[in-house]
Amino acid sequence: MSSDTFDAYAPERETTEGKVYTVTGGDWDTLLDEEHDDRIVINMGPQHPSTHGVLRLVLELEGETVQQARSVIGYLHTGIEKNCEYRTWTQGVTFVTRMDYLAPLFNETAYCLGVEKLLGVEAPRRAQVARVLLMELTRIGSHLVCLATGGMELGALTGMTAGFREREEVLHLMEFLTGLRMNNAFVRPGGLAQDFPDGWEERVADFVKIMKKRLPDYDKLLTGQPIWRQRLEGVGYLPVDGCLALGATGPILRSAGLPWDLRKIEPYCGYEEYDFEVPVATEADCYARYRLRLAEIHESLKIIEQAAKKMEPGPVMVADRKVAWPAQLSIGSDGMGNSLEHVRKIMGQSMESLIHHFKLVTEGFSVPAGQVYSVVESPRGELGYHLVSDGGTRPVRVHVRDPSFVNLQTMPAMSEGGMVADVIAAVASIDPVMGGVDR
């Protein structure tokens, strides 16, 4: 080949099959990192069956070993915090319940506790006990989803089917008690939307009985299973100093040996009256977090039984009619709007009461100016609400300290230096809910 026809990017050569061109990028050598030329960067997610929702992980690998891990979030951002500024204080409940959609009652309660603190009111005792019962029921459902999805992501499909089977029991009971399976909007500033329906005691007792019968199956199926143990023991290790440095709370922190539980340390809703333990482990790995969540389900069942006994007859909403909406709401036969009896009662009292009800529903009640931070112990850790009021009928600011968002910081610390497969186990043990992360 003559020098004037030579192509530096596609040299040609003759073979037995004819002429072959070899295309070469002349500038690729300048782009290669000499030091890390054996690394590969992969995207895991956001649409991936093992990322616990729409989470994107950018992993830098050397072979099967993770050298660097970064999480990319925001794929489920819905602007809930900002939307709350354009709704009344009561309407805000229907937004916050959709954040961490596996723990809706915790969001509702934390938000309403903040509003009540600003108002200077306290929900009646029956409402407080009902809130505890509903929160612990929600905690069981959330932990079951964590065990089920974690099992699915690691290949233990029987664990997944068992976990979701038990969660259906939780959702059936939740639907009976509140009217909805999820996104309940049942806890309202000042109390509850309405009282529990007749026969709730028997339904709760039946649920506790079923769960106590089925929970030992998880120990047979997973806890003592050698493959499950080998898959989780020593994986996703994060000691207590790492947890504290990264702000991790909930099962992650308790699995590292620190018994930090707001139900015991800063009791709310009367938790100081209940007899229960705070499960703790010291191994600080995925297996410890699995066992801890299973133990927490047992403790929640104990609290539910105690709450059912503590329920005394009484109102479920504060008596102040400037706040109490929609108190003792009576739902129509279609399950959608107010019943005719309820409408007749409102309209039959007086024109003033009808106008007051209309203004309370449309404009909302005024909340004294100030700011507050209210916290609850959600299934994932410390769930806090920072509420700011200027004295109007809408919040100036609603900001949430969501434990999923904070705990997700622990993912690189748990994963870097380990295998790609262990990233999946680590993320499953963190149990992030992307609705809470992105909001």
Within a domain: 410: yes
Looking at residue 293, its pLDDT comes to: 92
Looking at residue 226, its pLDDT comes to: 87
- The CB-side HSE value for 160 (13 A sphere, CA atoms) comes to 11
Of 84, 125, 102, 114, residue with least CA distance to 311: 125
| CA–CA dist 379, 143 (Å, integer) | 7
**Radius of gyration, CA atoms only, the chain:** 27
Tell me 314's DSSP state: S
Within a domain: 124: yes
Domain limits at 105?
Answer: 88-325+364-438
Within a domain: 101: yes
Total number of domains constituting the chain: 1
Which helix or strand (DSSP H or E) is residue 346 part of?
helix 340-349
Within a domain: 55: no
The residue type of 184 is: N
Within a domain: 244: yes
What would the pLDDT profile of 256-302 be if each residue is shown by its tens digit? 989 999 999 999 988 999 999 999 999 989 999 999 999 999 999 99
Looking at residue 7, its pLDDT comes to: 66
3-state secondary structure of 11: coil
**Phi and psi torsions of 286, nearest 5°:** -60, -40
Looking at residue 23, its pLDDT comes to: 62
Within a domain: 247: yes
- Beta carbons of 84 and 392 less than 8 angstroms apart: no
- Spans of the chain, pLDDT less than 70: 1-10, 22-37, 325-339, 346
What would the pLDDT profile of 24-74 be if each residue is shown by its tens digit? 655 545 545 556 567 788 888 787 777 777 888 888 888 888 888 888 888
Which helix or strand (DSSP H or E) is residue 192 part of?
strand 191-192
Looking at residue 44, its pLDDT comes to: 85
CATH number of the domain that 119 lies in? Answer: 1.10.645.10
| CA–CA dist 216, 292 (Å, integer) | 14
Within a domain: 334: no
Looking at residue 105, its pLDDT comes to: 93
Of 291, 204, 206, residue with least CA distance to 251: 291
Within a domain: 342: no
